[in-house]
Amino acid sequence: MLERKAELWIAVVMLVLGLVAVLIWIPSDSQTPAVYTYRRQTQIGDAFLPQLAMAAVALCAAIHGVLQWRRPKTLESAPPLDGHSLAFLALLAGVMASAMVLMFWAGPLAWALLGDGSGYREVRGDAPWKYIGFLLGGTWMTWGLMAAIEGHFSRRRLVAAFLFTLLLIAVFDLPFDSLLLPPNGDW
């Protein structure tokens, strides 16, 4: 019963944090709202993607809370946190951290090696430079997480990770002229 209470509390806390972020924190911390009109053109603002992400966190927390609330009390309790679980969490954290480093530095490094010597900031919105970090880091993150969960790497999963990252680029970058894929907004 203790695990169920902890899961319910985690769901409630994450739901509240997600809603606070969506309704208060992100709108007050962004220069533009999620969607705005400027010179008769409707554009997505700085708050759009963070609000979308935090709304997804709140939705997942609500679903998790409902599932935990409806879970039969006769189910076995969760296994304790042991060395294998901690090693798996460390592996996941390592994959995420290495993917973030790759995502952040791949574009500027490629520009430094292959570009004309000017700064990366000038080309961060131009193809192919704006896609390099997101494509490499996103593919590695997806492939690495799948490999960690399955216990081995496979070419099929690499192709799936690459195609999924291309899909993310097609959904979030191609339709919007003013959107910079991560981490290009940081440069």
Q: Are residues 90 and 113 in the same domain?
A: yes
Q: Are residues 48 and 104 in the same domain?
A: no
Structure tokens given for 101: 């480093």
Q: Are residues 98 and 65 in the same domain?
A: no
Domain assignment present for 181 = yes
- pLDDT (0 to 100) of residue 113: 92
Q: Are residues 172 and 115 in the same domain?
A: yes
Contacts 24+ apart (CB under 8 A), 39-48: 43/176, 43/178, 44/176, 44/178, 44/179
Q: Are residues 93 and 144 in the same domain?
A: yes
Encoded amino acid at 112, one letter: A
CA 60 to mean position of chain CA atoms: 14
Q: Are residues 173 and 99 in the same domain?
A: yes
Pick from 70, 92, 112: which residue ends a domain?
A: 70
Q: Are residues 45 and 92 in the same domain?
A: no
Pick from 70, 102, 121: which residue ends a domain?
A: 70
Q: Are residues 6 and 94 in the same domain?
A: no
- Dist. CA 126–CA 166, nearest whole Å: 16
Looking up tokens 């704006």, which residue turns up? 130
Total domains present in the chain: 2
Domain assignment present for 77 = no
Domain assignment present for 127 = yes
- pLDDT (0 to 100) of residue 30: 83
| Residue span of the structural domain in which 173 resides | 83-186
Q: Are residues 117 and 52 in the same domain?
A: no
The tens place of each residue's pLDDT in the chain, 187 residues long, gives 557 788 899 999 999 999 999 999 998 888 888 888 888 877 778 888 889 999 999 999 999 999 988 887 766 666 677 889 899 999 999 999 999 999 999 999 999 999 887 888 888 888 899 999 999 999 999 999 999 999 999 999 999 999 999 999 998 888 777 777 878 776 5
- pLDDT (0 to 100) of residue 19: 97
